[in-house]
A and B are shown apart, each in its own frame.
Chain A
Amino acid sequence: MSETGKYFGKAMKRVEDPRFVTGTGRYTDDMTLPGMAHAAMLRSPYAHARVTRLDTSAALAHPGVLAVITGKELLEAKVGSIPTGWLLPDLKIPAHYAIAPEVAHHVGDILACVIAEDRATAEDAVGLIDVDLEPMDAVALGSEALAQGAPLVHPEAPGNVAFEWQIGDREAVDANFERAYKTVKLNLRNHRLVPNAIEPRASMASYQRAGDEYTLWTTSQNPHIHRLLIAAFILGIPEHKLRVISPDVGGGFGSKIFQYQEEVIVLYAAKKVNRPVKWAARRSEAFVSDMQGRDHETVAELAVDENHKVLGLRVKTVANLGAYLTTFAPAVPTYLYGTLLNGTYKFPAVHCEVTGVFTHTVPVDAYRGAGRPEATYVVERMMSRMAHELGIDPAEFRRLNFIQPDEFPYQTPVALVYDSGNYEPALDQALERVKYADLRREQEEGRKQGRYIGIGFSSYLEACGLAPSKLVGMLGAQAGQWESAVVRVMPTGKVEVLTGSHSHGQGHETAFAQIVADDLQIPIEDIAIIHGDTGRIPYGWGSYGSRSAAVGGSALKLATSKILDKARRIAAHLLEAAPEDVEYEGGKFFAKGVPSNAKSFFDVALMAHLAHNFPEDMEPGLEASYFYDPKNFVYPFGTHIAVVEVDADTGKTKLIKYVAVDDCGPMINPLIAEGQVHGGIAQGVGQALLENTVYDEQGQLISGTYMEYAMPRADDLPSFEIGHTVTPSPHNPLGVKGIGEAGTIASTAAVANAVIDALAPFGIDHLDMPYTPEKVWRAMQGARAEQAADD
């Protein structure tokens, strides 16, 4: 492990930030190609409608319009359905065409595309498409889609059921509930979220007729996955004739993992009009076309024995998948959710049933945390609810049930084997930082004066660093989950590092360079991190599920060590010493005990390329690659404590204090890690207090602007207090875990528990998020009325 290095572990400012903060980043929508045309989409205004007539003649006749593309045309051109990348037993997979040929299944579903000289002309001409739609009944809520007689989304999925899935031992849970000392039960709604990356999606395609080659620039977290899906399933472009470039990307949070319709359309259009074609989403388009997150309706029950040890957790979830199955959609509410329901605890038995349901809404897929925030919300809400029922302290109830440090690797009842962990120190540090005893006193004093303070816990765990390819393959993944790296040393000793990971805000250009600079003992300025271009980097699976450091970082650590091995052998040859006698210190190779006669990294790099004086049996050059397949997931954990104050008169919840103690193993760059925690917390707090995606009964999205969809702002948040413990992962060469999603996974539950704790004097056991002032005020009024009636 190299945390003692010059760079590894150092809180360095990010090298990419100057270009981002000075507006010199290169995003897809910044690109312009000679002769570039623009695309605009005709989107369904109805959640469910049949196209009875689609006349494009007026649009085509409009000056400046180059083409109007319809779903029928794409079908005739044999453009394939967009596949899903994760299969479950008996999964119903409806066709998902780039342009819906007959029936629109959600507001925003694409019905036609106009290609024109400029964007305004394209958008105007969309209005000239004469389309008659026959609206049909729609359903937006998962449980309503399962009801008898609900409108059917796809005939091939009777009852709107995409899959039924379960994990755990039902009999064991039933038996443990039989002998329970106490049980609690809650209906939990984990409402739907819109990702809202700062950069809306954009795609630009060009076609080079000479070589029959295509290039796609797109806002993607994983350009190779797009190339694979487009080549193998959708457009049939030979994979080696398609280059996918994902340049600077302004935030993904999962929403830019997926294969989108527009990416297919611009590629098709670029060949059709033989000019580059660009599409860029407007924010209102993003609301109805970016894959959304969460949307669970859950019934959970928790049982304990007389010693307050948990006996079992029983969970039944209806997961709303929206109108289509997108890239990772089937995995999110199953293997990324049900397997996480053991939390940080010794639950002897867990059983979880999930029904995946189609509705007439925008598809739901991975969104920061992807399944794990939903699981954490269930586990941590239930733990706090039970502690309240038992009349014991929620922190002590958690401590009592923690897995102990000597019990790792720990086999849970829901398939996972936790690699390492030590949960109490994180809890203790969080309690200390929040000044828990003082806070409880303040809470008690406050209640006497009509001040309602609440303290909420989330002793979360997550599984990230997706994961051994063999395992995910067994679970239904249609993708591998290793990662690649190439370290390429140039004659002058400068180094180009090609990574299969993708940075869309994570700071790889800094953190990855820190790893390589330490190991090669060269200045960090001499290293360039290259990512996001299938024409330059080796095949890689991209970034999602907090996998960049643990999987991508490990790959480049191992590629770097191959470079060092070879450099040492070259140096040994130059020094006329045995390789095992050569030391490398301060960027210099020398024979043990003879530091005065040394060869620098530059000397070795130059000779590797000149090969004038070289070992006879050695290849020239100094380049190495490594394809790293991890042995397990990594399991970061921690304790977050949220402190809120609820205004008794208005119902307004103010987050007044937030402490996060996370353990992601050794940190490559604590500044970046802290930034990830900050952003993650803000996103999770957003769900708990502010954000909500509302569809009306006809499937119309009525929260489609920032007037209705409340994103967290700086004045909604206190200054976070961040702490760390360090428990390395035993199975990767860096010992690192992951920190990209932890803040979001932990914070929603912490804030929810804090609000319910604040409302305890009103006898309120549970309220669904988001805790808007009106909802909280109504709950308090209801409780007051009830209390008055009782008096």
Chain B
Amino acid sequence: MQLSGSHTLNATREQVWAALQDPAVLARCVPGVKDLSPDGPDRFRGSVDFQVGPVKGTYQGFLTMRNATPPESMTLDLEAKAPVGIIRATGVMQLQQQGNATVLTWTGSPQLSGMLATLGARLLPSVAQQMAGKFFSKLEVEAQRKPGGVTV
């Protein structure tokens, strides 16, 4: 499964990048987050409520950032498990400055296991897009609060 998306955020690339590095910001932006805390450099641990169709669960997991080229791109590894299944994903995020705005494109290839794969695989793409939409619209507001922000 290959997922991708693109979002235009009304903030500079540096602001968006700074927001993405801030666990408190991420905790406020990721839909369903129950807790999120740093777990070593470039690594977070946390738990998230997440529902795909009928498959609902609290996922415990880790998010690791690597190959970071500030403020242009990074690779993200996600591993999260819940009684209903396991998600492993690798994604790449790229930031491009366009005027005062930042165009953020992402691609990801999630691997689902268990009930989540059986019951949720068909529904995941639309759920992922929906979550990304929510995440980036919140991230946009957070990014604008970072230093060097633009006013709209």
List residues of chain A with CB under 8 Å of any chain B CB: 43-46, 107, 126-127, 133, 135, 284, 287-288, 696, 698, 700-702, 704-705, 707-708
Contacts and interface: CB of A to CB of B under 8 A. Distances in A.
A747 B118 CA distance: 29
Contacts of B82: 127
Given A696-B117, A698-B111, A45 B86 contact: yes
A693 to B, nearest CB: 11
A700 B122 contact: no
Contacts of A705: 118-119
A127 B115 CA distance: 13
A463 B145 CA distance: 77
A700 B118 contact: yes
B121 to A, nearest CB: 5
A141 B121 CA distance: 20
Contacts of A287: 118
Given A45-B86, A126-B83, A284 B115 contact: yes
B114 interface: yes
A702 B121 contact: yes
A708 B119 CA distance: 9
B122 A704 contact: no
B113 interface: yes
**Among all A-B residue pairs, the 4 with the closest Cβ atoms:** A45-B114, A704-B118, A127-B83, A700-B117
A287 B118 CA distance: 9
Contacts of A701: 117-118
A45 B86 CA distance: 7
A708 B121 CA distance: 10
A107 B83 contact: no
Contacts of B118: 107, 284, 287-288, 700-702, 704-705
Nearest to B123: A707
B113 A135 contact: yes
Nearest to B54: A705
Nearest to A701: B118
Given A45-B86, A127-B82, A708-B122, A700 B115 contact: no
Chain A interface SS verdict (over half): loop
Nearest to B115: A284
Given A700-B117, A701-B117, A45 B85 contact: yes
Contacts of B122: 702, 707-708
Nearest to A43: B114
Contacts of A107: 113-114, 117-118
A46 B83 contact: no
B18 interface: no
A45 B116 contact: yes
A424 to B, nearest CB: 48
Interface hub of A45, A126, A696, A708 (most chain B Cβ within 10 A) = A45
A700 B119 contact: no
B111 to A, nearest CB: 7
A560 B116 CA distance: 56
Contacts of B121: 700, 702
Given A135-B113, A700-B112, A702-B122, 18 more contacts: A45-B81, A45-B85, A45-B113, A45-B117, A46-B86, A46-B114, A107-B113, A107-B114, A127-B82, A133-B86, A287-B118, A288-B118, A700-B114, A700-B121, A701-B118, A702-B118, A702-B121, A704-B118
Interface in B98-152: 111-119, 121-122
A662 B83 CA distance: 49
A700 B119 CA distance: 11
Nearest to A132: B81
B46 to A, nearest CB: 17
A46 B115 contact: no
A278 B119 CA distance: 25
A32 B122 CA distance: 38
B114 A284 contact: no
Given A707-B122, A708-B122, A702 B117 contact: yes
24 contacts: A43-B114, A44-B114, A45-B81, A45-B85, A45-B117, A46-B86, A46-B114, A107-B113, A107-B118, A127-B83, A284-B118, A696-B117, A698-B111, A700-B114, A700-B118, A701-B118, A702-B117, A702-B122, A704-B115, A704-B118, A704-B119, A705-B118, A705-B119, A707-B122
Contacts of A46: 86, 113-114
B113 A700 contact: yes
Contacts of A700: 112-114, 117-118, 121
Contacts of A127: 57, 82-83
A46 B116 CA distance: 11
Nearest to B117: A700
A708 B82 CA distance: 23
Nearest to B118: A704
A288 B57 CA distance: 20
A287 B114 CA distance: 12
Contacts of A708: 122
A284 B83 contact: no
Contacts of A702: 117-118, 121-122
Contacts of B119: 284, 704-705
A107 B121 CA distance: 15
Nearest to A125: B83
